[in-house]
Amino acid sequence: MVNRRILLVQITAAVLIGILFYIQFNSPKVQASTVTTADLLDGNKNMDIALLICAALIVGGCIIGTLSYVSWKKYKAEVKPEEEPKKDKSVD
């Protein structure tokens, strides 16, 4: 049990050190640019709608999947014949 904890701490430390090195040495460079209102109005509207549809499909799919799973579990619980409770033969 102790060996697993030590291994877990070592792996966690290695991952954190790796993340810190990645952030330190491979940080993306941010450059400012000027944006005019004409650029905003001329944006790619098809891409915006495609992203909206994609997000709606992902969220809708998650909701439908969750509701289907819950409904199936409820159905299986209702259809399952009620079993008689077992008589407890233990002494209190």
- What's the pLDDT tens digit per position in 34-81? 766 666 666 655 567 778 888 899 999 999 999 999 998 888 888 876
pTM metric for this prediction: 0.40
The residue extents of the domains of the chain are 45-79
Radius of gyration from C-alpha coordinates of the chain: 28
Which residue carries 């070592």 as its tokens?
10
How far, in Å, are 13, 38, 40, 53, 84 from residue 46 at the CA level? Answer: 45, 17, 14, 11, 61
pLDDT digits (tens, 9 = 90+) for 9-26: 899 999 999 888 887 777
